[in-house]
Amino acid sequence: MNIAEEIFQRCVPDAVAVVEKGASHTYRELDALSRKIAGDLVAKNPARSPIRIGLRCRDGYQYIAFALGILRAHACFVPIPPEISDAEQKTLPETLHLQAILTEVAGPSMYSYEPIRGEVPAWQHEFELLNPALIRFSSGTTGKSKGVLLSHETLIERIQAANAGLKISAKDRVLWVLGMSHHFAVSILLYLWHGATIVLPESNLAGDILEAAKTHSATVFYAAPFHYILLTAGQDKIDWPSLRLAVSTTASLPEDIAKSFAKASGIHPAQALGIIEVGLPFINSNEAEKRPSSMGKAQTAFEVLLMNGDETPCELGETGELFIKGPGIFDAYIDPWKKRSDLLKNGVWFSTGDLAYEDADGHYYLQGRIKSVINVGGMKFFPEEVEKVLCLHDSVREARVVSRQHPHFGSIPVAEVVATSAIRAVELLSLCKRHLARYKIPAEIVFVESIPQTPSGKILRR
C-alpha cells in the first residue's frame, strides 16, 4: 500500500490539483513530476529500503511534488520546518536518524540531495515493518516534542475518518494558508485523495487571501485564528459567495472573531481539534452558529472518554482528561522509540493530554492542557480562561498567562501582553477583577513585543 500511488490511481488526470501564482497544475503534471523525483530517489537508494528523507522546501506546488515523490520512492517523508532554529536544524537529522535530506534549489535541477551516514538505530527493523510514510514533530506546546510516525495505512484511515465532517470532494477548491511542514496528513493528502484543488494565495495578507478566494471561487477555508483575525479587521462585509466551509484549527478561535467573520461572510467558522497522533477527531461543522466555542461532537469514527485524575469517568459537565479511540492513531514515537501498542491505555485509548468537558447535548469544549493548569493554593484554573479575558480589551492583541513559583501559594499567575496601543496594567487588572475570581487575577502584567509560539501557531507554554 502506498498512499501517493493511490492518489494518482483515483484522480482525474486533467483536473486541476494546485493553483499557485496564477498557474494551474493538473494531476497529470503532478503525477509526472513526483514520478520523476521518485525515480531519481530510487536510483540513489537501489536497495528500496524505506529510508528517512528530510525535506527542506518552501510551501507550494513543488513542496507537494517533492513530498509525493519521496513517498512514491518507498521512503519515509520527514518535513523540516523552515522556521526552526539553527540548532534544531542541526540536531533534527541526528534525532530522527535521517539518511538523506532533499533541499529545494533554484534552476532546472530543482533540488539537491545530501546523503547522511550514521549509525543504524536499534529500532530500524521494527520501523521498516510498519510501512512508514511520514514522521512529524508534535507541536510541543510545553517545550517537548516527539517524532510521530505514521504508516501509509494509518494515513489512509485518518483521511477517511476526517472527511466524514469535512466532506471534501473533487468539486472543492481549498484556499490554503497554513504551513505544509505542520499540516499535511489530514489536509494536503486528504484534498488530493478526494481530487480537490488546492489554491495558494500570493501571501497570507487579507487582501491576497480574498483576491484568491474570489478569482478561483474557493469553497473551503482551512486556517488558524490568526487568519480570521486578519480577515475581520475593519471588515463589515467579506465578499466570498462560493465559501461553503470555514474551519479554524491550531488554537481556540475567540468567540467575538467567529461572530464577526460569520456576520461579514455569512459562514460560521467551525472549530476543529487536530491532533498529530490522532488526526481530526472533532469538528463543529453542524453547531458552529449555536455553539461557536465548542469543538463539536466526536466524529463518527471516534469514541471519546473523559477521565478524572483517579481514572474514574467524569460526570456530565465535569472537566477531565480527554481520551480518544478510533482509526488512524499514530504507529510509533521516534524519540525515544515506542510503538503504539505500548502507549495506549488498555491497548486502545490515546491520552491527548487535553482537558475538556461535555455538555448535555454531547458537544465537547476544550479547556486547556493538563500540564498548563495553574494551581494557586489548591485552587486550579486554566491560563486560557485568563487570556480570553485579557483579550477582551481592544488594545490587547495577544496574551499568555504562566505560573510563577510562590513560597506561600505554590504558584501565582503572571500575564504577558502584546498591546496594539498604549495601555496601563491597572486597566487590565480592573478588567480581570470584573470577570474572574480573585485567585485567577494576574499578580503581574508584563508588556512584551511578542508571545512565543510553536511552529504550528499555538502558544508555547513554559
The residue-averaged pLDDT of 74-80 equals 95
Where is average pLDDT lowest: 18-32, 382-396, 442-456? Answer: 442-456
Q: 423 with 393: CB under 8 angstroms?
A: yes
CATH superfamily ID and name for 3-367: ANL, N-terminal domain (3.40.50.12780)
What pLDDT was estimated at residue 175? 98
Q: Please tell me what DSSP assigns to residue 453.
A: B
C-alpha torsion sign, points 156, 161, 164, 167: negative
What pLDDT was estimated at residue 408? 63
What pLDDT was estimated at residue 143? 43
Q: 354 with 321: CB under 8 angstroms?
A: yes
Q: 448 with 401: CB under 8 angstroms?
A: no
Alpha carbon distance 143, 157 (integer Å): 29
Q: What is the pLDDT of residues 275-308, one digit of tens each?
A: 889 999 999 988 999 999 899 999 999 999 999 8
Q: What ranges do the domains of the chain cover?
A: 3-367, 373-447
Residue corresponding to grid cell 503581574: 444
Alpha carbon distance 345, 324 (integer Å): 10
pLDDT at residue 161 tops 80: yes
Alpha carbon distance 166, 440 (integer Å): 37
Q: 233 with 196: CB under 8 angstroms?
A: no
**Confidence band (pLDDT; 50, 70, 90) for 378?**
low
Produce one character per residue of 419-449: b if its CB has 16 or more CB atoms within 10 Å, e if not. beeebeeeebbebbeeebeebbbbeebeeee
Strands (E), 65-224: 76-79, 100-104, 111-115, 132-137, 147-151, 173-176, 197-200, 220-223
Q: What is the pLDDT of residues 333-355, one digit of tens each?
A: 998 899 998 989 888 999 998 88
pLDDT at residue 139 tops 70: no
Q: Which three cell numbers stand for residue 161?
A: 475518518
In this structure, CATH architecture of domain 373-447: 2-Layer Sandwich (3.30)
What pLDDT was estimated at residue 462? 63
Q: 111 with 103: CB under 8 angstroms?
A: yes
What pLDDT was estimated at residue 75? 96
Where is average pLDDT lowest: 142-151, 170-179, 206-215, 241-250? Answer: 142-151
pLDDT at residue 141 tops 60: no
Q: What is the pLDDT of residues 412-442, one digit of tens each?
A: 899 999 999 999 999 999 999 999 888 899 9
Alpha carbon distance 278, 129 (integer Å): 21
pLDDT at residue 224 tops 70: yes
Q: What is the pLDDT of residues 247-267, one digit of tens each?
A: 998 777 888 899 999 999 999
Q: Which three cell numbers stand for residue 296?
A: 463539536
The residue-averaged pLDDT of 7-35 equals 97
Q: What DSSP element (H or E) covers 214?
A: helix 206-215
Report the chain's mean pLDDT, rounded to a whole number: 90
What pLDDT was estimated at residue 148? 94
What pLDDT was estimated at residue 384? 86
pLDDT at residue 151 tops 60: yes
**Confidence band (pLDDT; 50, 70, 90) for 142?**
very low
